[in-house]
Structure 1
Amino acid sequence: MTISFMPYQELTALAARHAVEGNEGTTAIEGLRLHRCSAPTAPLHTAYSPSYTLVLQGSKSLTLGRETYRYGVGQYLLTSLDLPVASWVVEASGDIPYYCLCLDLKMERLHELFDRINFQPDSLASEGYRGLTVNHASPDLIDATTRLVRLLDTPSDIAAMVPLIEQEIFYRLLTSPDGPRLVHMAMSETQSSRIARAVSWLRLNFHRPLKIEDLSDHVGMSPSSFHHHFKAVTALTPVQFQKHLRLHEARRLMLVDGLDAGNAGHRVGYQSPSQFSREYGRLYGMSPSRDISAVREPSAG
């Protein structure tokens, strides 16, 4: 499927006009972010929330567990639940920056839409879908996305028009080949939605000891079924998922709040400083103190 050149060119030009390098990408449209980067980056460990991300120029890669995804111009990353990932910009330069847009997915709006169009999930519901995927954007999806970003040029239209265009974008995603994964995540009694509830619990309680039996019972699954479907959706075991959340938060506490490694590790649930340093090194490739120093040195110079 090809992308119409002029609408896609307009979308890229809009992003170039409104994206600012080095900030969080927020715009006057709630839930819409525009990102610009003029050089390749090192891997950044972070958590992706449910969202639709479209690359407009350059390319990016991410890892989820042991899986690597790469997506470039005209491709979107669809994330249907909170996931800990490492991502980095692959192709970018001062002359040809990396541009992308990211739109938060609103599950309540998706609920309304698939109820209205009587969307039926397919037979793969019993297995669950991976919580993210990469695909090519259709011309209709590009067109609706362009009209959304175009509203940044006419702020007086935002309040009235954003809900309508967002609904169209969500409709295009629901009726795309990736639509079923959104339905399964939003419906109340699918395996994917149960895993989504478990992920929400873990994000709020990652500092607490993890008991698989209690968490599986909390979402209405047997421990063996829960473990199987959790890894099918997130590419991680529940213990690995919790570990990523803990280490990401500990790194944030050291970078942003200035905590030392011992206090940061204890704050996120580690009782043993040596275990914290060991697991931190496995994820980030160096000890907590070396990692934080390496991040701060460029800005200090």
Structure 2
Amino acid sequence: MASIIARFTGEDEECATAIDTLFFSRRSSTDKSVYTAQWPCFALVVQGAKSLALGSELHTYGVGDYLVVSLDLPVVSRVTEASPQVPNLGLGLRIEPERLKDLFGRIGMAPAAPHEMRAVGVNKAPPDLLDAVVRLLRLLDRPRDIPAMAPLIEQEILYRVATGPFGPALLQIAMLETPTNRIAQAIAWLRLNFARPLRIEELAQLVGMSPSSLHHHFKAVTAMTPMQYQKQLRLYEARRLMLTERLDVGSAGYSVGYQSPSQFSREYSRLYGRPPLRDVMVSR
């Protein structure tokens, strides 16, 4: 797997592949944290090591470990083991919710007793899962086989993940009438409306929960409150606007919903460790 990823990546980059749900990453240093809104995915480290922070929790994973993210989450990822001679190499496979629901419907997997599981988990990849991943990567050297074979192997990978330790969390999300599925609905709303004022009572009513139940289940699944989730989305987007769209500090803060420049600067500094203007100057 490492040799295939090395052939299809350039220097330090994250890149798409001919398989539309498959992405590769290569990093040769450990000095940069990446703040991102992560979509649901299966990720595997094949060389080096990484960490992922969700709220105050830190998940670490190395060679042969796989990470599952089951909901859209604001996270901080970092390469923790890499060098120019032995770069960190990894892959990510986007989890499509509709494919997940179809899989559970066909295999008749029964739900366990309702309980919350974190939307992020790390496990050691078993041989059957690694075998399926290798076969998926080998398709890149046989592009004519990709349309026919890639969906079948992706389904096998998803099946191995769904029948492993993280399966109950995925099943709870695929089922319509579970607290975790309602939290997924709340997250979808927050992703689209993060710049709007957040009223917990209205969000709870929207997803069919009481405010206290929404707060409890949201934190159990995401390790943060709805307000903290919204704040991280706002700050991630503000940073992106300043770095890539070249917006000034005031415009970026206002665009993501901040009415007070001082509050924006204070919360930005708390998350990134530097005031907005200084962080942008260092990061560009």
Q: Same fold (TM over 0.5)?
A: yes
| Superposition TM-score tier, normalisation by shorter sequence | over 0.9
Do structure 1's residue 16 and structure 2's residue 6 form an aligned pair? yes
User: Is the deviation greater in 273-282 or in 12-21?
Assistant: 12-21
Do structure 1's residue 181 and structure 2's residue 169 form an aligned pair? yes
| CA distance in structure 2 between the partners assigned to 1:236 and 1:272 by the alignment | 23
Cα-to-partner distance string for 1:140-169 (whole Å, 9 max, x where unaligned): 000001100110011111111111111111
Tell me the secondary structure at the aligned position of residue 41 of structure 1: coil
Deviation at 1:47, TM superposition (A): 1.1
Tell me the secondary structure at the aligned position of residue 58 of structure 2: strand
User: Is the deviation greater in 39-48 or in 239-248?
Assistant: 39-48
For 1:265, which of 249, 253, 269 is the aligned residue?
253
| CA distance in structure 1 between the partners assigned to 2:261 and 2:193 by the alignment | 20
Matches within 5 A, 1:162-241: 162-241=150-229
Do structure 1's residue 95 and structure 2's residue 85 form an aligned pair? yes
Report the TM-score when normalising by structure 1. Answer: 0.93
**Structure 1 residue ranges without an equivalent (≥5):** 1-10, 297-301
* 8 Å Cα contact 2:14/2:26 also seen in 1: no
**Structure 2 residue ranges without an equivalent (≥5):** none
Residue in 1 aligned with 2:60? 70
Quote the sequence identity (%): 57
| CA distance in structure 2 between the partners assigned to 1:243 and 1:111 by the alignment | 30
Cα-to-partner distance string for 1:26-82 (whole Å, 9 max, x where unaligned): 111101001111111322211111000000000001211110111000001100000
* 8 Å Cα contact 2:28/2:86 also seen in 1: yes
Residue in 2 aligned with 1:108? 98
For 2:274, which of 267, 272, 286 is the aligned residue?
286
| CA distance in structure 2 between the partners assigned to 1:277 and 1:142 by the alignment | 45
Q: Which amino acid aligns with 1:90?
A: T
Segments ≥4 residues shifted beyond 4 Å: none
For 1:56, which of 33, 39, 46 is the aligned residue?
46
Tell me the secondary structure at the aligned position of residue 252 of structure 1: helix
Deviation at 1:12, TM superposition (A): 1.9
* 8 Å Cα contact 2:12/2:28 also seen in 1: no
* 8 Å Cα contact 1:20/1:35 also seen in 2: no
The aligned length equals: 284
* 8 Å Cα contact 2:51/2:61 also seen in 1: yes
Deviation at 1:19, TM superposition (A): 2.3
Tell me the secondary structure at the aligned position of residue 229 of structure 1: helix
| CA distance in structure 2 between the partners assigned to 1:193 and 1:133 by the alignment | 17
Report the TM-score when normalising by structure 2. Answer: 0.98
Do structure 1's residue 81 and structure 2's residue 81 form an aligned pair? no
Deviation at 1:179, TM superposition (A): 0.8
| CA distance in structure 1 between the partners assigned to 2:236 and 2:48 by the alignment | 27
